[in-house]
């Protein structure tokens, strides 16, 4: 008999085709957002669960999962939605999908930087609402990226690809991470031991760190004050890294000229003031949303499942 896999969201067609070929797949064709109780109910008899970051596997949820479940194979690189310690105690294997979304997320980061700096939300609204009247030297003046200093908080896979793309704009790269990376990975980027050391060098700031207790609320009022005036802030990692009230205050005061955000606290019920500020370029958490990347994420999750059910160690095990 094929292993039974509960799939919590609608996945790309090619991924579901492979799932259905190799497993007894319990799919979600309507893409309904299951509650925790529904996940537990639907997981009865399942050998594995293939969820996304939208499902929360707290210690309580994990404790209530049926004993038949052996693995949680996430369709995401982030796994902060899973209590990995609780999973270990229950004997569950947890995997993620790194590497495959680095290019797509880096592309979106460049879009966030450009969109924020060049006032894309304001300009598009003017055109769509027929409020664009004429051209003048003082009309819709933004901030140029070329030749500026880019600071990257979190110099992992995505952060390093962002640096590579930003070099095409002649940007000087600065970064902070828990540890300095090897010189061949730096490619000339300048390392700063702490966020406090990094921030004064950031005309543009791109956040690409993981969500942990240490990074929650990392960009607060005190650290925002260390940025140069008229800095641009972007976030395509996790919303919890930013203190919303602090960033909104900095945007209102023009300490921060603009922000480009793809991720938020309490998605999709984001802080309402973001919607009202003209100097915020907003995206609905679509960093990995390309056809190539979403297929790649699904196949990576299935590679991990294949390994587990073949009695091998999965390549992307996080618990």
**pLDDT tens column, 174-184:** 999 999 999 99
What is the predicted pLDDT for the residue at 37? 98
Could you say which architecture CATH assigns to the domain 4-100+291-309? 3-Layer(aba) Sandwich (3.40)
Burial class of 146 by CB neighbour count within 10 A (0 to 12, 13 to 18, 19+): exposed
Domain ranges, ordered by start, for the chain: 4-100+291-309, 102-282
Q: Which CATH number fits domain 102-282: 3.40.50.720, 3.30.1300.30, 3.90.1310.10, 3.40.50.2000?
A: 3.40.50.720
Alpha-carbon gap, residue 231 to 2, rounded angstroms? 54
What is the predicted pLDDT for the residue at 257? 98
What is the predicted pLDDT for the residue at 15? 98
Q: What residues act catalytically? A: 238, 267, 285
pLDDT lower than 50: segments of the chain: none
What mean pLDDT value characterizes the chain?
97
Q: What are phi and psi of 180, to 5 degrees?
A: -70, 140
Q: What are phi and psi of 135, to 5 degrees?
A: -105, 145
Alpha-carbon gap, residue 27 to 49, rounded angstroms? 11
pTM for the structure as a whole = 0.94
What is the predicted pLDDT for the residue at 235? 98
């Amino acid at each position: 008999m094929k292993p039974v896999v509960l799939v919590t969201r609608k996945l790309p067609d090619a991924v579901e085709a492979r799932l259905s070929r190799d497993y007894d797949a319990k799919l979600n064709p309507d893409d309904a957002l299951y509650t925790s109780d529904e996940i537990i109910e639907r997981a009865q008899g399942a050998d594995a669960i293939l969820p996304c970051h939208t499902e929360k596997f707290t210690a309580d949820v994990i404790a209530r999962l049926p004993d038949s479940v052996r693995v949680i194979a996430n369709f995401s690189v982030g796994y902060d939605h899973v209590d990995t310690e609780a999973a270990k105690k229950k004997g569950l294997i947890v995997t993620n999908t790194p590497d495959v979304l680095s290019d797509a997320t880096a592309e979106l980061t460049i879009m966030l930087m450009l969109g924020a700096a060049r006032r894309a939300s304001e300009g598009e609204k003017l055109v769509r609402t027929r409020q664009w009247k004429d051209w003048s030297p003082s009309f819709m003046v933004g901030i140029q990226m070329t030749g500026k200093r880019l600071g990257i908080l979190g110099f992992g896979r995505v952060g390093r690809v962002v640096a590579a793309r930003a070099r095409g704009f002649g940007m000087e790269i600065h970064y902070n991470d828990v540890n300095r990376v090897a010189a061949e990975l730096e490619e000339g980027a300048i390392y700063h031991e702490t966020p406090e050391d990094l921030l004064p060098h950031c005309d543009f700031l791109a956040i690409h760190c993981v969500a942990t207790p240490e990074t929650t609320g990392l960009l607060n009022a005190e650290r925002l004050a260390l940025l140069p005036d008229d800095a641009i802030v972007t976030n395509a990692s996790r919303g919890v890294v930013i203190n919303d009230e602090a960033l909104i205050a900095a945007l209102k005061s023009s300490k921060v000229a603009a922000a480009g955000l793809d991720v938020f606290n309490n998605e999709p019920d984001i802080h309402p003031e973001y919607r009202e500020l003209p100097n915020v370029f907003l995206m609905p958490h679509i960093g990995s949303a390309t056809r190539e990347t979403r297929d790649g994420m699904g196949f990576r999750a299935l590679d991990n499942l294949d390994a587990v059910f073949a009695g091998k160690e999965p390549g992307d095990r996080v618990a």
